[in-house]
Amino acid sequence: MYRILAVLIGYAFGNFLFGFLYGKMHHKDIRTLGSGNVGTTNTVRTMGVLPGVITLFCDCIKVVVAYFVCGLIFSKTTNLGESYIQLLQVYAAFGAVLGHDFPAVLKFKGGKGIASSLGFICVVLPEALPGALVCFVLVVCVTRFVSLGSILAAIVIFVESLIFYHFDLFHYEGLFNIEVLLIIIFLVCLTIFLHRSNIKRLASGNENKFSFHPNV
């Protein structure tokens, strides 16, 4: 029950879609522009670099905030052990990613979870971050396909998480390590699933290349 509550706390934070909110502040509905996605890439394409950077930062930070707010709530209101509260914080971060991908406020049509997943990795398994970021940057710089960089970075995180788990490098207690690993694997699979249309376009050679210049 505590796990479900933690997910719901995170989900509430995830429903703040900053690309959408920024567009509304400037009398634009990003869902009708470019690819229609409310994430960072489409924000850059349709509204510019600065709005895109703001969206990236905010969509990342909301997961971090959900993580720490959940810890604060449970530490102040329950007598749960520190290790269990730490696990609940992971569930809150997980819920925030789900809230971003499937926000109730936008009829469950959200982003593809890259910025929010970045926030998740920052607080849950920061050791995996450098490898994933290097992969993402290299792939995008060489190919200019953000989707390909995102997919391959997710796969890198998957491999790294298995390695860290195998060598007992997770920071969680006992069987909690398995739960965290399963959550990470689920998010990696979800990321790839949400990019299924991009994968089809990559295979057919029709995927859009990234540009810093707004095209709408």
Residue at 216 is within a domain = no
Q: How far apart are CA 39 and CA 48, in angstroms?
A: 13
Residue at 14 is within a domain = yes
Q: How far is CA 16 from CA 22, 89, 99, 190, in A?
A: 11, 19, 8, 20
Alpha-carbon torsion, ordered 171, 175, 176, 181, to 10 deg = 80
Model's pTM, two decimal places?
A: 0.91
Residue at 180 is within a domain = yes
Residue at 39 is within a domain = yes
**Domain range enclosing 84:** 2-204
Residue at 174 is within a domain = yes
161-206 per-position pLDDT tens digit: 999 999 988 888 888 999 999 999 999 999 999 999 999 999 999 8
Q: Is the pLDDT of residue 79 over 70?
A: yes
147-164 per-position pLDDT tens digit: 999 999 999 999 999 999
87-134 per-position pLDDT tens digit: 999 999 999 999 999 999 999 999 899 999 999 999 999 999 999 999
Residue at 22 is within a domain = yes
Q: Is the pLDDT of residue 48 over 90?
A: no
Reported as a pLDDT band with limits 50, 70 and 90, residue 74 is very high
Residue at 214 is within a domain = no
Reported as a pLDDT band with limits 50, 70 and 90, residue 216 is very low
Residue at 175 is within a domain = yes
State how many domains the chain has. 1
